[in-house]
Copies of this chain bind each other. A is one copy, B any other.
Amino acid sequence: MVKDLVILAYSGGLDTSCILKWLIQKNYEVVCFMADVGQNEDFEKAKKKAVAVGAKDVVVEDLRKEFVCNYMLPAVQMGLVYESRYYLGTSLARPCITVGLVNTAKNLGAKYIAHGATGKGNDQVRFELSMYSLWPEGKIIAPWRIPEFFQRFQGRTDLIEYAKKENIPVSATPKEPWSTDENIMHISYESGVLEDPAAIPPGGIFKMTRDLAKADDYASVLDIHFEKGLPVSLRIPSGHEMALHVNDPLVIVETLNKLGGQHGIGRIDIVENRFLGLKSRGLYETPAGTVLHVAHVDLEAFTLDREVLRVKKYLQDKMADFVYNGFWFSPEAAFTRKCLELSQESVTGTVTVQLFKGNVTVLARKSPNSLYNKDLVSMDIAGGFSPEDSTGFININAIRLKEFARLSNLK
């Protein structure tokens, strides 16, 4: 009998290694898929491990450029921030990885995609909704939601025991007492000791960014150039010790991660609302993403008409929710994204930012499309402005207020 083929989103860690074995024992043929989205990972080692456990094959795909160009930078362009604080590093990576999973599944003729995301989290939703949009006939195996699996493996101890029994290599270094998700945009930290929102997180958690106390003692000043809302180059003018000029999107992000990291930029500690309705606490570090978002917000205010900005604000808040909730591939996100891109036609220009001690400070901005008119706003010259007009403007705006006051006074 031919076995059904499963593509497993494999991380190399204990969970997905056990899942791999368990699927094989359930009589599936399993190909592991590993997406390189910039996480710090020994892919060769993971590959060998998967094969050792029994994977039919391991596909490793370098999706870093894809992730940066089609997910992370568009998120900057769209201004996506979830619940005013979170730049969506994990939420954006999930649909990107799912494209890889689905393509692999289609190429290899698989029927199933399996993942190790838990039943309480957002990632299961993001993987699966992305898959159903891209491949409606696809089927999901999510062991952490299958009673036979989750009742058997009630904690890490059960997994380790199973691993030992099944000769799955277990890392010698003890696991950190929290879980992380890492890609080129950010690292998230949650659960374990972080589950108590009233507990100050232990030191030494963050990996991409230095503690403020150890951040560089000099400021870095950068010019970031955007075209239609997308960051396209990064420059430290020649003459400066650290002069540089990069255009490649991946290199821009890597450079800003390095610099932002040295300056301790982009850490947050928040409680957020998951799509399932739970509140969870997460720590995130997003160095390059933070720098780019801050610069983009500034350029937008400089180049977009006030009312366009307001309509765009509504759209970006909606889009942030769509993306967080797993609807990157959906009719509403496709539509809203097109609208947001339209809004960015004129968001071209250069923002000068200073990075220092965790702060991204905008120092100056230039744009050929700026709606800023120095003469018009100047307090020293008229610039074509008739002050009397303001009297009429205020008086007309006061009509409603006077009527309301009149009525209120009657009562």
Contact = CB atoms under 8 A, between A and B. Distances in A.
A356 B264 CA distance: 12
Interface in A186-228: 191-192, 195-201, 212-213, 215, 219
A376 interface: yes
Contacts of A128: 394, 398
Interface string A229-250: 0000000000000000000000
B197 A330 contact: no
A403 B197 CA distance: 17
Copies in the complex: 4
A308 B331 contact: yes
Interface string A255-281: 000000000000111111110111111
Interface stretch (A2-10, A40-48, A159-167, A360-368): A360-368
A120 interface: yes
Given A387-B119, A395-B386, A301 B277 contact: no
A363 B399 contact: no
A155 interface: yes
Contact of A401 (B129, B314, B379, B385): B129
Contact of A390 (B119, B301, B398): B119
Interface stretch (A60-68, A104-112, A332-340): A332-340
A212 B150 CA distance: 51
Contacts of A402: 132-133, 136
Contacts of A391: 142, 145, 389, 392
A33 B407 CA distance: 29
A371 B119 CA distance: 20
B399 A396 contact: no
Interface in A274-331: 274, 276-281, 297-298, 301-302, 305-315, 317-318, 321-322, 326-327, 329-331
Interface string A145-188: 10100100001000000000000000000000001000000000
B394 A197 contact: no
Contact of A331 (B272, B338, B400): B400
A302 B276 contact: no
A387 B277 contact: no
Nearest to A400: B277
B330 A401 contact: yes
Contacts of A346: 407
A379 B118 contact: yes
Contact of A398 (B129, B145, B308): B129
A400 B305 CA distance: 7
Contact of A376 (B134, B212, B365, B399): B399
Contacts of A309: 83, 273
B335 A397 contact: no
Interface of A: 83-85, 118-120, 124-125, 128-129, 132-134, 136, 142, 144-145, 147, 150, 155, 179, 191-192, 195-201, 212-213, 215, 219, 267-274, 276-281, 297-298, 301-302, 305-315, 317-318, 321-322, 326-327, 329-332, 335-336, 338-339, 342-343, 346, 352, 356-359, 361-366, 369-374, 376-380, 385-407, 409
Given A356-B357, A389-B391, 8 more contacts: A132-B405, A196-B374, A215-B357, A268-B362, A280-B377, A310-B332, A385-B399, A390-B392
6 contacts: A118-B379, A133-B402, A276-B396, A279-B373, A308-B331, A389-B392
